Amino acid sequence: MSDSGETRQWLKRLWRTFAAEPRNRQDLLQLLREARERGLFEADALTMIEGVLAVSDMHARDVMVPRAQMVCVQRDDPVAHILPVVVESGHSRFPVLDEDRDDIAGILLAKDLLRLCGNEEPQRFDIREYMRPAVFVPESKRLDVLLKEFRGNHQHMAIVVDEYGGVAGLITIEDVIEQIVGEIDDEFDVEDDQNIRKESERQYLVRGVTRIEEFNEYFGARLPEEQGFETVAGLLMRQFGRLPRRGESAIVEGFEFRITRADRRRIEALRVVLPAGASAPHDTESAT
């Protein structure tokens, strides 16, 4: 039978399966995987379909940034305290706390602070003029429902609350979409061909797979190289005694390491701040 004849036969089978309604999701996925093996669509398309199906079974608690790792600003903070937080974190949205971490007054967008770079006097800063309303969702909110609400309300962030009304974490539309399409890189990620990238005079972005030997050579550091791990990510996992999550930080040999991107399996990128008094590397080019 020709390839076109086989394709027609398979499509007829596919139609009969959908018409009869697959008995369960596994039947449907198996059929889609067979279609992928026959070249009817790309592997990326199958991955996204599987992601869409998985999202309907996931909840906000499964992908949220935990409360302890939220980067927030205080409502009464002066702009001189807020701007460094915005710049260092690289985030675009920040919960604004009132008196404690369970009292979210609103959301601050980094882009709304751009006008402070002009002629406006910093002492006239009133954060209430910049805050957007916060959206609250329960931990049990299904991700597919949340994504629909994000799109319908043109919101990009929600505060996740537990059954007692306390703040459990936060979730963004990017967190949900990444469950479907995979990790979404942004301008703060290390490019594929770079292991170390300079961000400022004392701050660098480092890939987790960077070998400790390369790190030590670049920074003139003395991170341990012979303790059962070879990469910066391995060093940090040993330091924490577990796989750390985004936003967590640790000090090793005077260097501050903050996790900027990680999933359930690995550390992908870290922001590194040089020790106090240390000289910046003479080679300012990115390491490859």
Task: Tell me the CATH number at 229.
Answer: 3.30.465.10
Q: Quick one: 170 and 69 in the same domain?
A: yes
pLDDT tens track, the chain, 288 positions: 455 566 666 666 656 555 555 567 777 777 777 777 777 767 777 777 777 888 888 899 988 888 877 889 999 888 888 888 887 777 889 999 987 767 899 999 988 887 776 555 555 778 888 899 999 999 999 999 999 999 999 889 999 999 888 999 999 998 888 888 766 555 445 455 678 988 887 889 999 989 999 999 999 988 887 667 889 998 998 888 888 877 788 999 899 999 888 766 678 888 999 988 777 776 544 555
Tell whether 288 is covered by a domain: no
Inside any domain, residue 285: no
* pLDDT digit string, tens, across residues 128-159: 888 999 999 999 999 999 999 999 998 899 99
The answer on 123 and 53 residing in a single domain is: no
Residue 177 lies in a domain: yes
256 occurs within a structural domain = yes
Residue 37 shares a structural domain with residue 111:
no
Residues 92 and 140 both lie in one domain:
yes
**Looking at residue 124, what DSSP letter applies?**
G
Sheet hosting strand 136-138, strand order edge to edge: 65-66, 167-172, 157-161, 136-138
List of E strands, the chain: 65-66, 73-74, 93-97, 104-109, 136-138, 157-161, 167-172, 196-198, 203-207, 249-252, 255-262, 267-273
Short-list 114, 112, 101, 107, CA closest to 131: 107
From 118, 146, 181, give the residue that closes a domain. 181
**Domain identity same for 106 and 166:** yes
Q: Are residues 148 and 225 in the same domain?
A: no
Is residue 49 in a domain? yes
Q: What is the domain range of residue 45?
A: 3-59
Look at the chain and report how many structural domains it folds into.
3
Q: What is the pLDDT of residues 254-280, one digit of tens each?
A: 999 998 887 666 788 889 999 887 777
Long-range contacts of 72-76 (CB under 8 A, 24+ apart): 72/96, 72/97, 72/101, 73/97, 73/108, 73/127, 75/105, 75/127, 75/128
Residue 279 per-residue DSSP state: P
What own/partner pairs with CB < 8 Å and gap ≥ 24 does 92-98 have?
Answer: 92/156, 93/156, 93/157, 93/172, 95/70, 95/134, 95/159, 95/170, 96/72, 96/127, 96/131, 97/72, 97/73
Tell whether 120 and 203 lie within a shared domain: no
Pair 48, 100 in one domain:
no
| In a domain? residue 131 | yes
**How far, in Å, are 9, 183, 237 from residue 268 at the CA level?**
44, 10, 12
Q: How many residues does the chain have?
A: 288
Q: Kindly state whether residues 177 and 91 are assigned to the same domain.
A: yes
Q: Can you read off the two tokens belonging to residue 57? A: 């079974």
Q: What is the CATH number of the domain that holds 112?
A: 3.10.580.10
Q: What is the pTM of this model?
A: 0.58
Q: Residues near 226 by Cβ (< 8 Å), separated by ≥ 6?
A: none
Helix, strand, or coil here: 200? Answer: coil
Same domain, 52 and 67: no
Please list the residues that pair with 201 across neighbouring strands: none
